[in-house]
């Protein structure tokens, strides 16, 4: 059998988590919280079970949940997506991204990605016969080189995938980025966008510049979101996709034969939670406090933090400590010092090594302080 992904092996996330377990290290490698979720949200799960909300949900998702999402988007971006035709509930954002790529990309289509890139983009494009074109974000601020992007677009370019706020870099878009993207789409009429915005509520500087804010851009965009990130429930694998009716129709054609629908019990719980708590702005302040706690605690270490304006990850430059490659240094930290991270080179197609590691600060305060104490001893 010929593999569609011959170069895909065990991910670095699996490797580092296994090392962390083996050496009983503090695990700041994978992006999941280690603290309890809201008691109110837990109670809504119990309520869902008591009401026997355990059978199939509608294929596009519960309408009551989609209506609450529409209200949130209206408040945040001054645009009201139609819950019937423009919002689809998905089994997490990764499934949404895979489904959007499946609905668009055919053999020979080129898809532009920006490195360091979240690891699901490239293989999803390859599975459907597309050709990933990797461009690099500028280092160290991880901004887009819009002139380079424009030069790379050709008649075979079908899709561009953006990530904002950016994992792993922690960078965020400015209003000028939306203006630049609008100009690109005005020039290239057959170009589409996937905008991965799962950390929309975790931004520490400025306002989240969603592509939904711009009429032209959203007319050609699939926009992905994650309740797992927003509500600290990554294991629920619950997200959603917003796209105009024509794109949503194509998306749902694939979605219905992929997962058909997603967990009805958790959809009910999230619907009730959003109905009772329409303001989610406090999530950003919550994570900003954790970022600041962690970075202040390592201020006496040899690590140099890069700017982190969003997500619950921060990048630390270790070039003042060692010049060994980042994969080996990440393993050394785990084995010798009991602290697990992710080397950023794995997010680059060419394994660019800037001597930078990614640390997750979505952890209890005591976890972060314990990790910081270890880092300060290196």
pLDDT in tens, 29-76: 988 899 999 999 999 999 999 999 999 999 999 999 999 999 999 999
Topology annotation, domain 39-276: 3.40.640
Residue 178 CB partners (closer than 8 Å, separation 6+): 209, 211, 213, 214, 217
Average pLDDT score over the chain: 96
Give the pLDDT confidence of 195-254 residue by residue, as tens digits.
999 999 999 999 999 999 999 999 999 999 999 999 999 999 999 999 999 999 999 999
Read out DSSP for 223-274?
Answer: EEEEHHHHTT-GGG--EEEE--HHHHHHHHHHHHHHTSS--HHHHHHHHHHH
Quick check: 9 pLDDT over 80? no
The CATH code of the domain at 12-30+281-375 is 3.90.1150.10
Instruction: Say if 12-30+281-375 and 39-276 have the same CATH topology.
Output: no
**Tell me, what's the pLDDT at 214?**
97
Helix or strand run (H / E) with residue 191? none
Nearest-angstrom CA–CA distance, 357 and 342: 6
CA-based Rg of the chain, rounded to a whole angstrom?
21
Q: Where do the domains of the chain lie?
A: 12-30+281-375, 39-276
Give the pLDDT confidence of 297-326 residue by residue, as tens digits.
999 999 999 999 999 999 999 999 999 999
Quick check: 176 pLDDT over 90? yes
Give the pLDDT confidence of 253-284 residue by residue, as tens digits.
999 999 999 999 999 999 999 999 766 878 99
What integer is the mean pLDDT of 105-114? 97
**Tell me, what's the pLDDT at 13?**
87
Asked if 130 and 121 count as a contact pair (C-beta separation under 8 A), the reply is no
Quick check: 89 pLDDT over 70? yes
Quick check: 354 pLDDT over 80? yes
How many other CB atoms sit within 10 Å of the CB of residue 86?
22
**Tell me, what's the pLDDT at 278?**
65
Q: Of 291 and 2, which is predicted with more confidence? A: 291
């Amino acid at each position: 059998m010929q593999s569609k992904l011959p170069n895909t092996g065990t991910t670095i996330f699996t490797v580092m988590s296994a090392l962390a377990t083996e050496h009983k290290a503090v695990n700041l490698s994978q992006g999941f919280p280690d603290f309890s979720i809201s008691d109110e949200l837990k109670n809504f799960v119990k309520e869902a079970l008591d009401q026997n909300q355990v059978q199939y949900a509608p294929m596009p998702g519960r309408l009551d949940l989609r209506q609450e999402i529409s209200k949130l988007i209206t408040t945040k971006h001054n645009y009201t997506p139609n819950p019937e035709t423009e919002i689809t509930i998905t089994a997490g954002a990764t499934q949404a991204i895979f489904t959007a790529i499946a609905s668009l990309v055919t053999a020979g289509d080129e898809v532009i990605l920006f490195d360091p890139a979240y690891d699901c983009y490239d293989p999803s494009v390859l599975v459907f016969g597309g050709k990933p074109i990797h461009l690099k974000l500028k280092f160290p601020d991880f901004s887009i080189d819009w002139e380079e992007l424009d030069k790379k677009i050709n008649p075979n370019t079908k899709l561009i995938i953006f990530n904002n706020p950016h994992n792993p870099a922690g960078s965020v878009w400015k209003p000028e980025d939306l203006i630049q993207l609008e100009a690109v789409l005005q020039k290239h009429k057959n170009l589409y966008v996937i905008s991965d915005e799962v950390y929309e509520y975790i931004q520490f500087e400025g306002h989240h510049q969603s592509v939904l804010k711009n009429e032209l851009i959203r007319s050609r965009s699939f926009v992905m979101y994650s309740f797992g990130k927003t509500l600290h429930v990554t294991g629920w694998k619950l997200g959603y996709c917003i796209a105009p009716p024509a794109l949503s129709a194509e998306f749902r054609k694939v979605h219905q034969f992929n997962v058909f629908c997603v967990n009805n019990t958790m959809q009910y719980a999230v619907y009730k939670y959003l109905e009772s708590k329409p303001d989610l702005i406090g999530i950003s302040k919550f994570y900003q406090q954790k970022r600041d706690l962690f970075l202040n605690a390592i201020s006496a270490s040899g690590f140099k933090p890069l700017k982190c304006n969003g997500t619950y990850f921060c990048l630390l430059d270790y070039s003042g400590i060692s010049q060994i490659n980042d994969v080996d240094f990440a393993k050394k930290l785990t084995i010798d010092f009991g602290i697990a991270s992710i080397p950023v080179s794995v997010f680059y197609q060419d394994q660019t090594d800037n001597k930078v590691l990614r640390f997750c600060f979505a952890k209890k305060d005591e976890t972060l302080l314990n990790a910081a104490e270890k880092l300060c001893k290196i």
